[in-house]
Amino acid sequence: MAHLLILGASGGTGRQVVAQALELGHDVTAFVRRADRLPVTHERLRVITGQLPQDVTALDAAVRGQDAVISALGLGQSLKSGGLIERSMPVLVAALERAGVRRLIITSAYGVGTTFQDVPLLPRALIRVLLRDLYADKHSGEEILRRSGLDWTLVYPTTLTNGPKTGAIRAGERLQLAGLPRISRADLASVLLAQIEDRTYLRKGVLVTT
C-alpha cells in the first residue's frame, strides 16, 4: 500500500486511477479544481481542491507525506493548451522537491516528443493539424521535467477510449503501431499505478496501447 496523490483526479483517466488505487488498498489524495466533479467517498480518499499552476499552498498540502504522485492533468476536449503543462510543471517539480517526494508519473500522449516517430500516418496528420498547440505544451513541460532530479516516468498512451480494463497491454519505449491504435482509460490507469513500484521506465518514457 502507498500514499498517492492523483492530479486531474476528476477527469476520465483520473477517476479510473482513483478507483483502481482504492481497490488496490492505497491511500489516495485527489487534487481537483472542483470537489463536486469527483462524486466518490471512501475512508482512504482525501479530496483537496486547487488549480495548477496558481494554487501552490494547496498543492504543497496535497504533496506532503506522499510516496508517489500520478498526474492525469489535462484540458478535456479543448484544443487550446493555454500553456497549462508548461506553466504547471515547474510548480509541481518544486512542490515535490520541497516535500522530499521523488516518484512522479505523468500521463502524456503518443505523438509528443520522440514518440511521434511511431505514430501511424492518419493520426500523425491529426496531430499536426488539430493538436499542435496541445502537444507543443506537453513537450515543453516534459523538457522541464527531464531536467529535474526526480524519479519520473512519462506514460504515452495511444488514443483513449472509455472501454473496459482488458489487461492486454503492449508497452515499450518504441512500438510498431498501425491504423488508429487505442487503449482504454481503465487499462491506462493500471499502467500508471504499476509504475509506482516498477522501475523499468525510471527517468524514461513508455508508449502504451492495446
Give the model confidence (pLDDT) of 18-74 as tens digits.
999 999 999 999 999 999 999 899 999 999 999 999 999 999 999 999 999 999 998
Rounded CA-CA distance 132/160 in Å is 18
Contact 88, 141 (CB under 8 A): yes
What's the pTM? 0.96
60 Cβ neighbours under 8 A, 6+ residues apart:
95, 98, 99
Q: How confident is the model at residue 78 (pLDDT cuts 50, 70, 90)?
A: confident
- pLDDT above 80: residue 82: yes
Cβ(70)–Cβ(192) under 8 Å? yes
Cell numbers found for residue 36: 463536486
Q: Using pLDDT thresholds of 50, 70 and 90, give the confidence band for residue 159.
A: very high
Per-residue pLDDT, 76: 78
Q: 68: closest CA among 207, 186, 188, 198?
A: 198
* Angle at which helices 132-146 and 84-99 cross, to 10°: 20
From CA 38, how far away is CA 53, in angstroms rounded? Answer: 20
With 80 as the cut, is the pLDDT of residue 165 above it?
yes
CB distance 157 to 175 below 8 Å: no
State which residues form the domain around 197.
3-209
Query: Is the Cβ–Cβ distance between 103 and 69 less than 8 Å?
Result: yes
- Digit-coded pLDDT (tens) for 98-108: 999 999 999 99
* Domains in the chain, number: 1
Closest CA to 142 of 152, 127, 132: 152
- Strand, helix or coil for residue 183: strand
CATH of the domain at 158: 3.40.50.720
